[in-house]
């Protein structure tokens, strides 16, 4: 009974509603900034992946135009093409907001990197 009386007393005061409104406004502002941060992060990821794709394409072009004939040239081109395909798949997953697919391709990318490092270790390059 005493508890009900105290609640009615608090509700009747105008200051309580003002504080509640300020609190709700503060929560709304924080939520807005959180959403803006998420959008900026997604845009940044897309831009970084697009830059990665551009650099891989540039490397492929440079390798093809290199006048030096090398037995490793085709192998390097194949590695670049594999990296390009993975980068494009990751970009597609980011744009479609498919995090499972994005993580799958990122893991595959790391596995390829590890495989390349092992290969170079055995070749003593």
pLDDT digits (tens, 9 = 90+) for 16-42: 778 888 999 999 999 998 888 888 888
Distance CA 71, CA 115 (A): 20
- Tell me if 56 sits within 8 A of 83, measured CB to CB: yes
Residue 124 has pLDDT above 60, yes or no: no
Distances (CA, A) of 40 to 25, 32, 43, 102, 106: 23, 12, 5, 18, 21
Residue 84 has pLDDT above 60, yes or no: yes
Q: What is the mean pLDDT of residues 97-124?
A: 83
Largest CA distance in the chain: 93
Looking at residue 123, its pLDDT comes to 53
Domain boundaries, the chain: 2-123
């Amino acid at each position: 009974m005493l508890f009900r009386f105290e609640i009615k007393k608090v509700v009747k005061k105008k200051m309580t509603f003002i504080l509640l409104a300020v609190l709700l406004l503060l929560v709304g502002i924080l939520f807005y900034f959180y959403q803006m941060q998420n959008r900026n992060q997604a845009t940044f990821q897309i831009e970084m992946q697009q830059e990665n794709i551009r650099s891989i394409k540039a490397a492929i072009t440079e390798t093809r135009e290199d006048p030096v004939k090398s037995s490793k040239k085709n192998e390097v081109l194949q590695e670049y093409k594999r990296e390009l395909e993975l980068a494009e798949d990751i970009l597609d997953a980011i744009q479609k907001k498919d995090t499972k697919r994005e993580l799958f391709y990122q893991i595959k990318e790391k596995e390829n990197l590890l495989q390349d490092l092992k290969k170079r270790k055995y070749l003593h390059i």
